[in-house]
Structure 1
Amino acid sequence: MAKQQPYKKEPSNKRPLEKKKEPVKKKTTLGMIWEIVQTLLMAAVLYFAIDYCIARVRVENISMETTFTEGQLLMVNKLNYKFSEPKRGDVVIFEAPKAPGEDYIKRMIGLPGDHVEVKEGKLFINGNEIVEEWIHEPMIYTGSWDVPENSYFVLGDNRNHSSDSHSWGFVPRENLVGNAFFRYWPLNRIRIINNEIVLPGEEEIAAIKEEKNGTGTN
C-alpha cells in the first residue's frame, strides 16, 4: 500500500490586499485662518462669561486689616446677590454712596430691619453682643443705627481706621457688587473667605424652615 504524500499548499501568486490610504487633506490658508478665528471667539466668550460672574479686586487700603492687607488679591462673586440675600459677616464689595464710581470693601454687619449699636467698645446686633474673631482692638466710637429697608450697615475690620457706615450711613441694595469668596494672592495666604455672623436662635429658626420646606404641604 502506497504511502500518502503530505498535502503541500501551492504558493499563491496573489498579493495580500493592501488598505487604501486615504489622501491627507491639506489645510488651506483660509481654513487655518478660520480655525484661529474660532479659537479667538471661544476665548473671548469664555473671558466675558467669567468676567460677568467673577471680579478680581486688589485691596488698596488698611480699613480691613488685619483680615486683608494692602496688595492682596481677592475674587468676588458678582452673581450671588442677584439670586440670594447678603449675610451678616460677608466681605462685600460695593460702590461707595459718597464716592460714585469708587468701590469699597467692608464687612456686612447689619441687614434691613436690624438695630446696630456700638457701646463700650463692643458691637451689638438686635441686643446681642457680637464677638468677632477678626477684631483686635475695641472700638473708640459709639452710636446706634436702625437699618432701613433695602439698605445695609457695613464696617471695616480695622474699626478705628475705616470710613464706613458708622461715619457716612447705609449702603443701598443697588450699590452691592458682590461678596469676596477667595483670596488668591499672596500664595502663602490663599484661603476661602467665609465668616458668617449667626445671631442666637437663628440656627434653630433656619433648621425649622428647612424642615418645613423638606416635608412640604399639599
Structure 2
Amino acid sequence: MKRSHFAREIIELIAITLLLFVVIRFIIHGYHMQSTSMQPEVGSDAYVMVNRTSYMFTRPQRGDAVVIHYPPDPNTDIMARIIGLPGDDIKANGPHISVNGMVLNETYVQHPFNPESKEWKVPANSYFVLNDNRSMTDDSRRWGSVTNDMIVGKAIVVFWPVNSWHIISSHSTVFNQVKNTP
C-alpha cells in the first residue's frame, strides 16, 4: 500500500515538473534586454518576462511593448513598441508622430526625436514599431514594418533587477483617440 502511494506521488511530481517546464519554456520566457532602446520604461540590462502565446488568439495592439526578431539580424531579439497596425498611415514630423492623422501625445517618450520628416503606410500583416528612446532610430523608421512572424511575444513585466520590477504599460490612453483604417 505504501509503495502505490509513493509511486503516485512520483508520477504527480513528474507531471507537475513537466507542466512547469512547458509553461516556462513555451508560453512565458525571460529575455535579457541589453540596449537602452526602451528607456525609461525598460532600463538597460533588464530582464523582461514575455508571453509568447499572447498573439495566438488576439492581434497586437497599438502601444504593446513587444519582443521581435531584429530585421537586420533575425537571430537577435529586440524590444520595441507597436505604433501602427496594418493599413495605418504613420507620419514623423520633428518631435511628433501621427497615426492616421492623429498626433500622439506620447507621455512615455522622454526626448521626442525624428531626424527627418517621413511618411509610411503599414502593409497588411505588418506592424510599425518604435523605440521609446526615440534618439535610437534603429526601428521601423529605418528598416520598415515588421511582419507577424517576426513578433516573438508581448513584454509583460520587468522582473530583474528586483528594484526595477514593474508591469510594462501599453499606454492605451495615448492611442484611444486614433481611428482605425477601414
**Alpha-carbon distance in 1 for matches of 2:148, 2:135:** 25
**Alpha-carbon distance in 1 for matches of 2:178, 2:19:** 45
Q: In the TM superposition, what whole-angstrom CA distance separates every residue of 1:74-114 from its partner, at most 9, and x where no partner exists?
A: 11111111110111111011112221221110011111011
After superposition, residues 78-93 of structure 1 pair within 5 angstroms as 78-93=52-67
Q: 1:165 aligns with which of 136, 140, 143?
A: 140
Give the structure, 1 or 2, with the largest relative contact order (CA under 8 Å, sep 6 or more). 2
Question: 3-state SS of the aligned residue for 2:55?
Answer: helix
**Alpha-carbon distance in 2 for matches of 1:65, 1:49:** 28
Q: Which residue in the other structure is 2:92 paired with?
A: 118
**Alpha-carbon distance in 2 for matches of 1:167, 1:201:** 23
- Which ranges in structure 1 are unaligned for 5 or more consecutive residues? 1-24, 206-218
**Alpha-carbon distance in 1 for matches of 2:153, 2:44:** 20
Q: 1:130 aligns with which of 88, 104, 109?
A: 104
CA shift, 1:201, in A, is 6.4
Q: 2:71 aligns with which of 89, 92, 97?
A: 97
**Alpha-carbon distance in 2 for matches of 1:163, 1:73:** 20
- Which ranges in structure 2 are unaligned for 5 or more consecutive residues? none
Q: Which residue in the other structure is 2:32 paired with?
A: 58
Q: 2:82 aligns with which of 93, 108, 115?
A: 108
Q: In the TM superposition, what whole-angstrom CA distance separates every residue of 1:102-140 from its partner, at most 9, and x where no partner exists?
A: 111001111101111111221111111101111111314
Evaluate the alpha carbon distance shift between residue 151 and residue 201 of structure 1 in structure 2; reply closer, same or farther with a 3 A threshold: closer
Question: 3-state SS of the aligned residue for 1:45?
Answer: helix
**Alpha-carbon distance in 1 for matches of 2:163, 2:2:** 50
Is 45-54 or 80-89 further displaced after alignment?
A: 45-54
Query: Between Structure 1 and Structure 2, how many residues are aligned?
Result: 177
CA shift, 1:33, in A, is 7.3
Identity of aligned residues (%): 32
Q: Which residue in the other structure is 1:191 paired with?
A: 166
8 Å contact from structure 1 (residues 93, 178) kept in 2: yes
RMSD: 2.2
AA aligned to 1:126 is N
Is 163-172 or 132-141 further displaced after alignment?
A: 132-141
**Alpha-carbon distance in 1 for matches of 2:178, 2:74:** 38
Higher strand fraction (1 or 2): 2
TM-score by structure 1 length?
0.73
CA shift, 1:32, in A, is 5.4
AA aligned to 1:150 is N
Larger Rg: 1
Question: 3-state SS of the aligned residue for 1:93?
Answer: strand
TM-score by structure 2 length?
0.86
Question: 3-state SS of the aligned residue for 2:71?
Answer: coil
Question: 3-state SS of the aligned residue for 1:76?
Answer: strand
8 Å contact from structure 2 (residues 41, 168) kept in 1: no
